[in-house]
Amino acid sequence: MKNIYLDNAATTPILPEVIDVITETMINYYGNPSSTHQTGRKSKSLVETARKNIAKQFNAAANEIIFTAGASEADNLILRNAVTNLKVTTIISSKIEHHAILHTLDNLVKEFKINVNWVDLDEKGGVNYTHLEELLQQTNEKVLVSLMYVNNEIGNLLDIKKVSELCVSNNALFHSDAVQAIGHFKIDVEQTPIDFFVSSAHKFHGPKGVGFAYIKKGFGINPILHGGEQERGARAGTENLHSILGMEKALQVACDNLKEESTYIQAVKSYFIQELKKNFEGIQFNGYSQDENSSSYIILNVRFPKEYPMLLFNLDLKGIAVSGGSACQSGSNKGSHVLNEFLTGNEANKTSIRFSFSKFNTIEEIDYVINSLKELIN
C-alpha cells in the first residue's frame, strides 16, 4: 500500500542528519549539564552553543532563548508571565488561535480576572488590522497582543511587521505563536520588534518534545515549573540535551535551504490546487490557503462541495495521511473551531480537509491523491 504523508502541519518526519546528531549525543554526551565535573561541563557547553546558534537564526541574543518541552509550554510560560510578572491586564487575541493560546487565556481569565478582547476577522479568517488598532487605542491598561504568525488549520499569514509596529506605537506587548512559521519563514527580531514568540522542533523536521520561547531581553521571567535553576531560573528540569541538539540541527538545515525548499514546496502546492480545480467542480479553499501571497506554502485547506463523512477514513485506507483540522483536536466531534468562526453553518458542515506539504512530497504523490479522490467522491 502507498504511504503518502500530507499532514506536515501536524508533525514532520525527522531528518536523517538530525537523527544522527541525536544518536551521537545520546551515546557520547550523557552528563547532566548542571554537574560541575568534566562530563557535565561538556553537556552544558553543548546546550549553550545550541542556544547561541538558534538565537543567531533570528538575529537574537542567546539569553533571549529559553528551551522548553514544546510550544504549548512556551505559550503558557509567556502568557502567564505577561499577567503575573509584567502586570498585563488586557490581552487581545483572535478566536482562531491554537488551543494552547485559547485554553491558557480561559484559565487566566478564571484565575486573574483579566480582560480578553477578540479582534475581528474578515470573511476568510484574516485579522482586521483596523479593528486591532482600535482595540489598542481604546484602553490605557497594560496590553499584550497574542496572534499566531501562521494559522495551523488554514495557513493564513499574519503581517507580523505591521502588528509589531501597531504594538510599539500603542505601547503594547506582542506575542506570536510562530509554530507553523519557524523553519519556513524568516524572522529577524532586529527588523521586526516582536517581544515574544514560540516554536516546536517537530514542525521543521526535528524531534518531538522540545521547543523554545523567544523572550526579548529586559523582561524578567518567573518559572511555571519549579524545582531547579535551569534555563537561568526560567524553567526547572534537566535539559533535554539530545533533543535540543537535534532541534539546533533541524533549524540549521531548514534555514540554510529555506529559499530552495520553499520554492519547491510551493510548486507542489500550486500543482495540487490546479489539479483540484480541474477535476472537482465546486471545490473551494478555506481561508487564504489558495493565495500564494497570503498563506503558508505548507498548508492547503480544501472544502468539498458537500459532506463526505468517511472521506478521511477512506483516504487513510489508501495510505494517504491528512487531517480534518489540527491534530490536537482530531478526536473532537465539534468540528474545527477555526472554520466555525468564519464559515456559515451550511459551509462549515461540508467536508474540509487540511493537506500540508513538505520537501519530501512529490508531484507523483499528488497525482495519486487526485486519482484517489476521484474514486472516492465522483
Residues 184 and 301 in one domain: no
**Of 256, 278, 310, which residue sits at a domain end?**
256
- List, as one string, the DSSP characters of 252-313: HHHHHTHHHHHHHHHHHHHHHHHHHHHH-TT-EESTTTT-TTTB-SSEEEEE-SS--TTHHH
The domain that holds 305 is classified in CATH as 3.90.1150.10
Q: Is 153 helix (H, G, I), strand (E, B) or coil?
A: coil
Percent share of the chain, pLDDT over 90? 94
**Of 212, 239, 256, which residue sits at a domain end?**
256
The predicted structure's pLDDT at residue 333 = 56
Residues 210 and 98 in one domain: yes
Asked if 200 and 211 touch (Cβ cutoff 8 Å), the reply is yes
What are 80-90's pLDDT values in tens digits? Answer: 999 999 999 99
Residue 27 has pLDDT above 60, yes or no: yes
Residues 267 and 334 in one domain: yes
The number of beta carbons lying within 10 Å of the beta carbon of residue 150 is: 25
Distance separating alpha carbons of residues 374 and 378, to the nearest angstrom: 5
Active site residue 328: yes
- List, as one string, the DSSP characters of 72-87: HHHHHHHHHHHHHTS-
Give me the domain span that covers residue 33: 16-256
Residues 360 and 298 in one domain: yes
Residues 204 and 111 in one domain: yes
What are 144-202's pLDDT values in tens digits? Answer: 999 999 999 999 999 999 999 999 999 999 999 999 999 999 999 999 999 999 999 99
Residues 78 and 159 in one domain: yes
> Which DSSP category does 328 fall into?
G
Whole-structure pTM value? 0.95
Active-site residue identified among 267, 310, 328, 363: 328
Residues 310 and 188 in one domain: no
Number of domains the chain contains: 2
**Of 195, 228, 256, which residue sits at a domain end?**
256
Residues 153 and 104 in one domain: yes
Distance separating alpha carbons of residues 236 and 69, to the nearest angstrom: 11
The domain that holds 220 is classified in CATH as 3.40.640.10
Residues 89 and 166 in one domain: yes
Residues 8 and 46 in one domain: no
Residue 101 has pLDDT above 90, yes or no: yes
Residues 8 and 47 in one domain: no
Q: Cα separations (Å) of 269 from 54, 68, 115, 283, 361? A: 29, 32, 40, 15, 10
Residues 251 and 263 in one domain: no
